[in-house]
Structure 1
Amino acid sequence: MMKKIQQIKGLVLLILAAFFVNSCNIEEEVLDEITADQVETISASDAIQLIAPAYAVMREMLQRDGVWGVNQHSSDETLGPTRGSDWDDNGIWRQLHTHTWDANHTFIRLAWEDLNQGVSRSNGALNTFINQIPGIDANLIAEARVLRSLFMFYIMDMFGQVPFREIDEIDFSVSGRVLTRAEAFEFIRTELEESIADLLNETEVPYGRLTKNAARTLLVVLNLNHEVYLDQKVDARYTDAVNFATDVIGSAAYTLAPAEDYFGMFANDNTETRAQGEGIIVATFVNDLDLGEDNVSMITQTLHYNQRFGGGDGNNDGHLDFSAWNGFTTIADFYNRWDQNDPRFRAESEITAANASTVSENNPYVFNGINRGFLQGQQFDGQGRYVLHRVSSSDNGQVAVADPADANTPLLNFTVDLSLTGNTESNGVRVLKYAPDPNAPVITRTDNDFILWRYSDVYLMRAEAQFRLDGGGQADLDAVRTARNMTSIPISEDALLDERGFELYWEGHRRRDLIRFGRFTDAYTLKDASPAFRTLFPVPQSAIDSDPLLDPTLGNQ
């Protein structure tokens, strides 16, 4: 029987456009299916369509109820406090913060499913590339191998075991293998090392595609964390981390962004992140395309309802016109570590909308002037007026802003203090790293590309690997701090962990860092000390029920 690769109409082209916008022309032709005969004759530019669905999973990883969410909320950087009944969700956010989840936690299940879907899609692309397209470009095979390795790395890191099939094992009525953490480590390490030679450089592929330096960066991450994954120290692995980091730095493909451009890396027009210098592995977005998932939640999930975007007249005039969700905060232990003069802490940058309007009886909202970084204290709108805590129906015009001289208004003043439940709308310091785009076409589309790994992280990882080898690494730590206009501090475990927090907060790395430094199970704000098995998430019960080879005890003791 002739084999067919079924494609959902339009999906591939939408995904491709997100990766290749401004880099190449996309022919707007939808292929309903590609037969085996057609596969043998398609060009390399068409063949990339077969891996585009796997790339799309990278966008899923940043969602609040998936990979990003469970990694962030189980760390000391992020908390989802309950305000009245808002954000209670039957305690699902509290369970992450207090390390009391179980195998039925919905967000852990979604993370597991997304990552395994990424592996499956990568395998499908590899199977087609290797077995059905004679003479396929070697770089496409290497790209699919590295993409599969990325998803497998997250599964290994989060769950400690990795379901695995060879690319030609397509009888899904039969269980595949389950790799132990050590087996997965070696498999991923080999895949990444073997792929480097065939991958292309940054100047040879469109923005958002995986490159030689992407594979090297993943090898730095893998080797740096080897003591966690192998339960033993192997100096050769730290040496490899140093060497692969040196290869990335020596390639001269990236530069450390200057302090004044730190938040520019997360701007709504950050497609030029590579030119700015730091984005190595990036999930790309385009605000002209509805790609099903978007990163607008990185903005709406933290800001208050009254921190509204657009003109606010509700006329659907082509600009964002919505209120945020008043959700996530940071906690006191993390907030109080900061030197508030650090340029990464806050940027006083008013963001204005092209159609920003004034307050009137029929238009109670204006676009807010919102800072970046950590938002604490009174919040203001774009004209310097106080944003209110809650719009009162008894006020004329129901305005959400007030003159600063008016003392009889419920002001929106974000406080450091908060609790797990019973919070007011103003409790908790908000974190806004990715900038809102006030001129995006619709609420669900923003143009900010999400950075999974950055160049500054390579310096910090090399510093740490060298420190764990021989106590060195000071120059690399200094390089990052100098770029951020901060003075040198003596290198130590505490200094390295703190600096990683200052540089990489809310980028999805903190859980892994805390585990590597032996701090993940410590007590901190609104969290008691937790048992060691919490360094792993349990495989979801639904997966355990369907595959007897999965170990139900890991992360679930």
Structure 2
Amino acid sequence: MATSCTDVSETVYDKYQADDFYGTPEGSDVALAAVYAQVAGNWGGVGYAGADNGWYDLNSMCADEQVIPHRNTGDWQLDFARLYKHQWLPSDALITNTWNWLYSAIYSANLAVEQLENAEADEAKIAEAKVLRAFFYYLLMDDFGDVPFYTENNSTVDQIPQASREEVYNFVVSELTANVDALSGSKGGEYYGRFNRWAGYTLLAKVYLNAEVYTGTSRWAECLAACQVVDEGGFSLHSSEANEENPLGSSYYELFGDDLPEDETILGMYASVNVVSRNIYGIRSLYGPHAQAVFGYSGWNGTIVPEAFFSKYDENDIRRRQFIFGEQPGGTNYTTTVSSLDDPGAAPQAGVRNLKFYPAGTMDGGGASNDFPIYRYADIVLMKAECYARLGDAASAKPMVDAIRTRAGLEALNANPTLEDIYDERGFELNWEGHRRQDMIRFGTFLEANDFRGASSEYRTLFPIPTSALNANSNLTQNPGY
């Protein structure tokens, strides 16, 4: 021992200094992966879409396209019916879940930006982290208006100042315009489900599309210009040709299955049940014995399509095939009419069901592996049509609306489209994809009465800041009306 080696210095080959690590291609992807994990999410209201009780449900069930009624057998909580009836409260779990998810995602994005900038990582990777952060802030100010704002994780919750909706809007636009051109132009492969240049410009177009709601000043020309950049990405409308292998008989529904087609999908959310997120929307809609007979596991007997929404579809519309009603396997017979959402509630088999996301890939009673289309080219086509119409050039909008209609098996319009035509077409094409609340607010229909409630007050166009957030940060001011 007296003659043993005294030089105990060690060269470590499997560890990096943080800056060295995040500066490598592999390390920068690790930093970004932590942020993208927030997009996929899972149970407990975490994530953009896929599971339940989070952002998707909050923004979809307050519109006119879907709702989960309380059943007169005692099934399902009242939260979803209260959303549809515009009776939500600041203490509601879906509101709190959405708020908490978005701020958790922003924290992750801030961290990724810091790690990548400190490491002097590739410019495209830093830009990707900043665009992701802008995406989350866009969703946050769209739902809540004036919100706590921070870009560095160096403050406690009680110290974060509240920024106005317009200030957050300006930040989002600034971050996007400064970074989208630095994003990769690659499509598919390692960029499937990631913000490339085309997804970045689509996000910018969505922000401009709703600018008048956020700031009082419209940005139709800017929205149109952003959409025209996306055109350079080589996207097209996916085929709707007959397809006997597809459960709904048309290739159109490949847009909502497992592995979304790259010709139309601009940004998809990856899902693989019990591994990464899940897609519950088909199985959640079906009555238990019906799903058991078709898929071998019970459905949740949850989401229905309100009759007023379903009835607007033309019988020849390929998109109408997603709706399930009448006699079905398993001794099921869905009625199109629902008489009550909450007191006493709907009968077990009341309500049209939706199989737009026909369960695909690995599946079980907890959901399936359908990926989710966050952005697709049909939305770009309809955004361009709306911008042209709002700028007084409905003739330029017509071939765009007609392209969506003819893909759906319908005839072209007889005349130039009105804004109402475009609004309806957006509903027909994009239902259950998370866009309807925004569209209704922008077109001025969100507050109108429906079969289950009277007209709503103006303040309902924003959700309230959650009670828990107000309790945690005395700097915050609640939205008017709450």
* TM-score, length basis structure 2: 0.88
Unmatched 5+ stretches in structure 1? 1-33, 312-319, 347-372, 381-386, 390-411
- Specify the code of the residue in structure 2 equivalent to 1:245: C
Please, which of 319, 341, 347 is the counterpart of residue 420 of structure 1?
Answer: 341
State whether residues 76 and 302 of structure 2, in contact with CA within 8 Å, keep that contact through their aligned partners in structure 1. no
- Structure 2 residue 148 is the aligned partner of structure 1 residue 181: no
Quote how far apart the aligned CAs of 1:321 are: 4.4
**How many aligned residue pairs are there?**
445
CA distance in 1, matches of 2:204, 2:370: 26
Please, which of 229, 239, 257 is the counterpart of residue 258 of structure 1?
Answer: 239
CA distance in 2, matches of 1:512, 1:446: 27
State whether residues 192 and 267 of structure 2, in contact with CA within 8 Å, keep that contact through their aligned partners in structure 1. no
Percent of residue pairs bearing the same amino acid type: 30
* Counterpart in the other structure of 1:358: none
User: 1:392-440 CA deviation, whole Å, 9 max, x = no partner?
Assistant: xxxxxxxxxxxxxxxxxxxx23333432133221110011111113x62
CA distance in 1, matches of 2:111, 2:369: 29
User: Structure 2 vs 1, CA of residues 232 and 196 (structure 1 numbering), >3 Å: closer, same or farther?
Assistant: closer
CA distance in 2, matches of 1:213, 1:263: 23
State whether residues 258 and 484 of structure 1, in contact with CA within 8 Å, keep that contact through their aligned partners in structure 2. no
What is the SS of the residue equivalent to 2:290? coil
User: 1:137-186 CA deviation, whole Å, 9 max, x = no partner?
Assistant: 1111111111111111110100002322123x423265123221111111
Quote how far apart the aligned CAs of 1:284 are: 0.5
CA distance in 2, matches of 1:96, 1:255: 35
- Specify the code of the residue in structure 2 equivalent to 1:480: I
Please, which of 26, 30, 33 is the counterpart of residue 45 of structure 1?
Answer: 26
Please, which of 268, 285, 288 is the counterpart of residue 282 of structure 1?
Answer: 268
- Specify the code of the residue in structure 2 equivalent to 1:45: E
* Counterpart in the other structure of 2:356: 433
Quote how far apart the aligned CAs of 1:459 are: 0.6
What is the SS of the residue equivalent to 1:191? helix
State whether residues 259 and 484 of structure 1, in contact with CA within 8 Å, keep that contact through their aligned partners in structure 2. yes
1:117-266 maps to which residues of 2 (within 5 A)? Answer: 117-131=104-118, 133-134=119-120, 136-167=121-152, 169-172=153-156, 175-203=159-187, 205-233=190-218, 237-252=219-234, 254-260=235-241, 261-266=251-256
* Counterpart in the other structure of 1:334: 309
CA distance in 2, matches of 1:441, 1:77: 25
CA distance in 2, matches of 1:529, 1:173: 36
* Counterpart in the other structure of 1:109: 96
- Specify the code of the residue in structure 2 equivalent to 1:495: D
CA distance in 1, matches of 2:454, 2:204: 34
What is the SS of the residue equivalent to 1:341? coil
User: Structure 2 vs 1, CA of residues 41 and 336 (structure 1 numbering), >3 Å: closer, same or farther?
Assistant: closer
User: 1:284-305 CA deviation, whole Å, 9 max, x = no partner?
Assistant: 1235x623x321x212211001
CA distance in 2, matches of 1:38, 1:99: 48
- Specify the code of the residue in structure 2 equivalent to 1:553: N
What is the SS of the residue equivalent to 2:370? coil
Larger helix fraction of residues? 2
What is the SS of the residue equivalent to 2:386? helix
State whether residues 131 and 200 of structure 2, in contact with CA within 8 Å, keep that contact through their aligned partners in structure 1. yes
Quote how far apart the aligned CAs of 1:442 are: 4.4
State whether residues 278 and 370 of structure 2, in contact with CA within 8 Å, keep that contact through their aligned partners in structure 1. no
CA distance in 1, matches of 2:309, 2:293: 32
- Specify the code of the residue in structure 2 equivalent to 1:117: S
- Specify the code of the residue in structure 1 equivalent to 2:129: A
Quote how far apart the aligned CAs of 1:548 are: 1.9
**Alpha carbon RMSD of aligned pairs, Å?**
2.0
- Structure 2 residue 331 is the aligned partner of structure 1 residue 388: yes
CA distance in 1, matches of 2:163, 2:15: 33
Unmatched 5+ stretches in structure 2? 1-13, 41-46, 242-250
1:243-392 maps to which residues of 2 (within 5 A)? Answer: 243-252=225-234, 254-260=235-241, 261-267=251-257, 269=258, 271-274=259-262, 277-287=263-273, 290-291=275-276, 293-295=277-279, 297-309=280-292, 321-346=296-321, 373-380=322-329, 387-389=330-332
State whether residues 415 and 426 of structure 1, in contact with CA within 8 Å, keep that contact through their aligned partners in structure 2. no
* Counterpart in the other structure of 1:511: 437
- Specify the code of the residue in structure 2 equivalent to 1:306: P
Quote how far apart the aligned CAs of 1:537 are: 0.2
* TM-score, length basis structure 1: 0.76
User: Structure 2 vs 1, CA of residues 48 and 470 (structure 1 numbering), >3 Å: closer, same or farther?
Assistant: same
CA distance in 1, matches of 2:56, 2:143: 11
User: 1:113-149 CA deviation, whole Å, 9 max, x = no partner?
Assistant: 1111111111110111112x13x11111111111111
Tell me whether 254-263 or 207-216 shows the greater mean CA deviation: 254-263
State whether residues 515 and 535 of structure 1, in contact with CA within 8 Å, keep that contact through their aligned partners in structure 2. yes
CA distance in 1, matches of 2:186, 2:74: 44
- Specify the code of the residue in structure 1 equivalent to 2:323: F
Please, which of 485, 490, 493 is the counterpart of residue 409 of structure 2?
Answer: 485
- Specify the code of the residue in structure 2 equivalent to 1:184: V
- Structure 2 residue 387 is the aligned partner of structure 1 residue 465: yes
User: Structure 2 vs 1, CA of residues 41 and 158 (structure 1 numbering), >3 Å: closer, same or farther?
Assistant: closer
User: Structure 2 vs 1, CA of residues 340 and 416 (structure 1 numbering), >3 Å: closer, same or farther?
Assistant: farther
Quote how far apart the aligned CAs of 1:255 are: 1.2
What is the SS of the residue equivalent to 1:145? helix
CA distance in 1, matches of 2:237, 2:283: 29
Quote how far apart the aligned CAs of 1:540 are: 0.3
User: 1:432-471 CA deviation, whole Å, 9 max, x = no partner?
Assistant: 111113x626444632111111100001011111111124
State whether residues 61 and 111 of structure 1, in contact with CA within 8 Å, keep that contact through their aligned partners in structure 2. no
* Counterpart in the other structure of 1:476: 400
* Counterpart in the other structure of 1:83: 71
What is the SS of the residue equivalent to 1:451? strand
User: Structure 2 vs 1, CA of residues 84 and 190 (structure 1 numbering), >3 Å: closer, same or farther?
Assistant: same
CA distance in 1, matches of 2:255, 2:456: 35
CA distance in 2, matches of 1:70, 1:542: 17
- Structure 2 residue 470 is the aligned partner of structure 1 residue 527: no
Quote how far apart the aligned CAs of 1:310 are: 7.9
- Specify the code of the residue in structure 2 equivalent to 1:493: L
* Counterpart in the other structure of 1:73: 61
* Counterpart in the other structure of 1:351: none
User: Structure 2 vs 1, CA of residues 100 and 442 (structure 1 numbering), >3 Å: closer, same or farther?
Assistant: closer
What is the SS of the residue equivalent to 1:281? strand
